[in-house]
Structure 1
């Protein structure tokens, strides 16, 4: 199991279980590669939060955005 950096752990600390379940796999992928940060978007409707690696964001950084 890949250890998440402190910045990712801090981000998850006060989040709902639903949000954590949606984005944690991408955070783990980022931590495994240690190349890129993560962009988290919120889409109104049934899709909700989504996360993806973003090569324009440094590793260990999370950026929230509205899609």
Structure 2
């Protein structure tokens, strides 16, 4: 498994455990491919946060958005 880049580690630093458990697998996938960044969205209601690799975002960048 690839080491997470510093930007991803910094992004996770102040997040709660549930958020990290949700987002970290996608960050790890991005780090393994080293092709694209990650978009994290917040969905009001029971679904909460989701993350996905986004081809429009450069590798190492995380963008938070509201879905």
CA distance in 2, matches of 1:45, 1:21: 18
CA distance in 1, matches of 2:59, 2:66: 21
- Cα deviation for residue 2 of structure 1 reads 2.0
- Cα deviation for residue 10 of structure 1 reads 0.2
Equivalence for 2:57: 57
Equivalence for 1:24: 24
- Quote the RMSD (CA, aligned, Å): 0.5
The count of aligned residue pairs is 67
Higher strand share: 2
Matches within 5 A, 1:2-17: 2-17=2-17
Q: What is the TM-score when the length of structure 1 is the normalising length?
A: 0.98
CA distance in 2, matches of 1:54, 1:8: 15
